[in-house]
Chains A and B, each alone.
Chain A
Amino acid sequence: MQKVLTGNQTVSWGVMRARAQVIAAYPITPQTTIIEELANLVDEGKLEASFIKVESEHSALAGCIGAAQAGARTFTATSAQGLALMHELIHWASLGRLPIVLADVNRAMAPGWTIWTDQNDSLSQRDTGWLQFYCESNQEVMDTAIQAFKIAEIVKLPVMLVLDAFFLSHTAEAVDIPEPEEVDKFLPPYEADLKVDFDNPRAFSGMTGVDIYQEFRYLQHEAMNEALTVTEKVDQEYGKQFGRTYGLVEPYRCEDAEAIIVTTATATSTAREVIDQWRDRGESVGLLKIRTFRPFPTELVREALRGVPKVGILDRNICPGFGGIFAQEIKASMYDMEEKFRPDIYGFIAGLGGRDITPDTINEILEKTIHPEKTEKHLNWIALRD
């Protein structure tokens, strides 16, 4: 069934198809319509779930943690300050190895007060042990939402499904909604190995001494590494059943490229159009889309960029005093590559606080990457006002 849905509605329908059992959430723009739609779907009896209204985002994730510990498939959604308020429990969910799925509608951090998109809210959660998927279209949001629960439940780590404020969250376009019985085949009910069981009481998350805490961290790290292959496998399996796959990265028109730009989320979609225009003019340029930020697809990035003379990285985020966050990750991935294959890498910051990323933005980044005489290697601000 195809329907014209906003990105936020798409999240809600994906969560319905995944048959989430517990949703605990607190409203915040631009996420609010996700949980409004879910509340409606629960109210109309289309989704059999407990919808728990709470007094803050901190409590929302606490509710999900309790429910997941009891063996329920759980979901929540938030943005920006709401995600920041969850931070303590963001760590808890991952170290507790709870397969919670959270949709973060990327919204820039305040102040100045803002509701528009950039990635600093989700990227601030880099070291918490959550998987993060950045989506390019509403269809990818739908498919990733369904995949997310499966991946989370296999590797026992929580997943953040990330979509741009307004450029996806409030953008309506046609989405193919998989049939419920098909999704049920792909994603059977969640069976937790360890859960609250009144007949067999256990303690969870208790005092962990110096003799064993490091091993918990080791296992969490290994689970994240395992997530690389699990994500790939689940995506392939999804593709066989539903005809759509995304990979962890996607090279687009990279054959014999002189220069490649690296993008994420909706900027990728606009950039595809621009890359086609440059290719039509005979320019050898390509695009590398990064879909998963955690686990970071180091080997796939190395493979895609190996031997490419010049690479420009578009970051819709900033690590103040250092530079773009994806640029950091990519450079770290390339460090030990043989010098003759290692590209010159240029970092670009654009689109913060919801500033539009237009074809001109992409054109400028391509120009500055191909003709780097006046381009800073580390960090270049695009369309910065005086």
Chain B
Amino acid sequence: MVEFRFHSRGGQGGVVAGKLMAVSLFKEGKHVQTFPTFGVERRGAPVMTFVRISDEPIRLRNQVYEPDHIVILDPSLIQHFDVTQGLKKDGIIIINTDKDVSEFNFPSDFHPVAVNAARIAINHKLGSITQPIVNTAILGALAKITGIVSLDSVVAAVKEEAPVKPEANAAAAIEAYNSVEAVAI
């Protein structure tokens, strides 16, 4: 079983990112499970979303405390939370940022990768300039970086499930996929 934890804020699409990732992997025949930890439901509140992927039926229904990999949709969360808490050694950190990843000083146990998902989302008119919706771009990048799911599956899931602008969301996923390099895991 592989476990992911997404960090986002309410309204940014972290929960939908989990769902889209689950649908992508379901299309590849995997067992999947995703759920958010809601705090109070409001825009801007920190939200964690978990995704479990397995070749066997998934029975654990508790939260994920020791993820294999994490995805950070909003880098401002890093100031307030220990986002890498419980992250397994050699875990990948995918972070939406325009900065160089070295600026975040993540422990050397991990493989951080920066994705400028906000720029890509803005290019495709997803959300607004101040509040871009980065989830589909992040997923495209995740497909390339982790190799855990194919771009085709991500694009198919996005076209089926994206609440709005399926074509633009799919294009953002493809652009993000092509903007990053795979990490050997």
Q: A171-B35, A174-B32 are in contact. Are A29 and B63 (CB under 8 A)?
A: no
Determine if A85 is an interface residue (Cβ-Cβ < 8 Å).
no
Which residues in chain B, 5-54, are within 8 Å of chain A measured between CB atoms?
A: 15, 18-19, 22-23, 26, 31-38, 40-41
A50 at the interface (CB under 8 A from B): no
Interface size class of B (residues with CB under 8 A): 20 to 34
Nearest neighbor of A7 in chain B, beta-carbon distance: B35
CA distance in complex: A272, B61 (Å):
11
Q: Is A115 on the interface with B (CB-CB < 8 A)?
A: yes
By the criterion CB–CB under 8 Å, are B26 and A171 in contact? Answer: no
Q: A interface, how many residues as a size bin?
A: 20 to 34
In chain B between 92 and 150, which residues have their CB closer than 8 angstroms to a CB of chain A?
none
In the complex the two chains form, is B60's CB within 8 Å of A273's CB? yes
Binds B, one of A218-226, A236-244, A352-360, A365-373: A352-360
B61 touches A269 (CB 8 A): yes
- The answer to the question of A4 belonging to the interface, with a C-beta cut-off of 8 Å to chain B, is yes
Closest to B33 in A: A173
A128 within 8 A of B: no
Closest to B23 in A: A4
Residues of B within 8 A of A174 (CB): 26, 31-32
Residues of chain A within 8 A of B62, CB atoms compared: 270, 356-359
Q: Which residues of A contact B (CB under 8 A)?
A: 2, 4, 29-30, 115, 166-168, 170-174, 266-267, 269-270, 272-273, 356-359
**Can you list 24 A-B contacts with CB-CB less than 8 angstroms, sorted by A residue number?**
A2-B26, A4-B19, A4-B22, A4-B32, A29-B41, A115-B40, A166-B38, A168-B61, A170-B15, A170-B36, A170-B38, A171-B33, A172-B35, A173-B32, A173-B34, A174-B31, A174-B32, A266-B61, A269-B59, A270-B59, A270-B61, A270-B62, A273-B60, A357-B61
Task: Rank and list the top 7 A-B pairs by shortest CB-CB distance, nearest first.
Answer: A171-B35, A358-B62, A266-B61, A273-B59, A173-B33, A269-B59, A269-B61
